[in-house]
A = this chain, B = another copy of it.
Amino acid sequence: MASTTLRHQVYCELDPAAREHRGLSLTNKLLVVLIILASAQAIVETEPTIVAGREELFRSTELMFGLIFSVEYLARLWIAPENPYCSKQRYPRLSYVFTPSALIDLAAILPTLLSMGMTGALFLRFFRVLRIFRLAKLGRMSSAWSDLAAALHSRRYELMLTVMLAGVAILVSSTMLYLAEGGVQPDKFGSIPRSFWWSVVTLTTVGYGDAFPVTALGKVFAGVVAIMGIGLIAIPSGILASAFSETLQRRRQRELERDKKTN
């Protein structure tokens, strides 16, 4: 069956999971470049000083990206039955339409399709930025995510606990500052939820300077909170960094051993 063979060829070209070799096919490499370009365009397009006077240029490139991604979407829909997961379903193409990847792809072409008819749908174009997440499924990034997930999983207990400790630290410090500064700065510390903003900004050491204590008691509380709490916020990232580094080194060792066996 020529049609099936062609479909299978297209499938091998479009789906990284179907390839024997590591790396991406030429079509997918091209698509990665196009997704990056389209994302960059979607980002730049939000800046009025750049768009001003170049509306036509932006509209036509935008239309071009929309058409290319529509063709890609239809192609992927066509090859869905080749996919081992979708082919097991009753309606392979329908089940493909509702996979997260396909939904992101659809969100990326929808704005172009809608804006062809009307002009008010411009804000929908923002969905194109979402498409950058598709990059996450391609090539090297893919193993990065699984490594990060493994690191998160291996330390999930530590991370959960430290996140809970951080939550308690935010709650306690907000309450303290609400009691100390609530009367003097009602717009910033007038309630515990309002004080949350100060707590987060202080415990993460961002310290914008839009909210800070002015009374002596508030400063003493804030000083204690800053010194005690910073450790709490720093612990999760320390744990995560060591777990991530460990996961990657283990993987490298595994790859080295596999290479030895092959030779």
Contact = CB atoms under 8 A, between A and B. Distances in A.
Contacts of A165: 144, 148
Contact of A219 (B50, B148, B197, B222): B197
A43 interface: yes
A200 B223 contact: yes
A227 B233 contact: yes
A241 B245 contact: no
Given A235-B240, A245-B155, A164 B191 contact: no
Contacts of A237: 230-231, 234-235, 238
A50 B194 CA distance: 12
Size bracket of the A interface: 35 or more
Contacts of A197: 219, 223
Given A191-B47, A237-B238, A244-B239, A200 B227 contact: yes
B155 A191 contact: no
B201 A43 contact: no
A112 interface: no
| Copy count, this protein chain | 4
Nearest to A123: B179
A192 interface: yes
A152 to B, nearest CB: 10
Interface in A85-117: none
A80 interface: no
Contacts of A207: 201, 205-209
Nearest to A51: B191
Chain A interface SS verdict (over half): helix
Interface string A150-162: 0000010110011
A44 B174 CA distance: 12
Interface string A46-68: 11101000000000000000000
A147 B44 CA distance: 40
B241 A192 contact: no
A34 to B, nearest CB: 17
29 contacts: A47-B190, A47-B194, A126-B175, A129-B171, A132-B168, A136-B168, A144-B165, A148-B161, A148-B165, A157-B252, A158-B244, A197-B223, A201-B223, A202-B206, A204-B205, A204-B226, A204-B230, A206-B206, A208-B208, A209-B210, A231-B241, A234-B237, A235-B237, A235-B241, A237-B238, A238-B242, A238-B245, A239-B244, A242-B245
Q: Which 6 A-B pairs have the closest CB atoms?
A: A238-B241, A231-B237, A206-B207, A209-B209, A47-B191, A46-B191
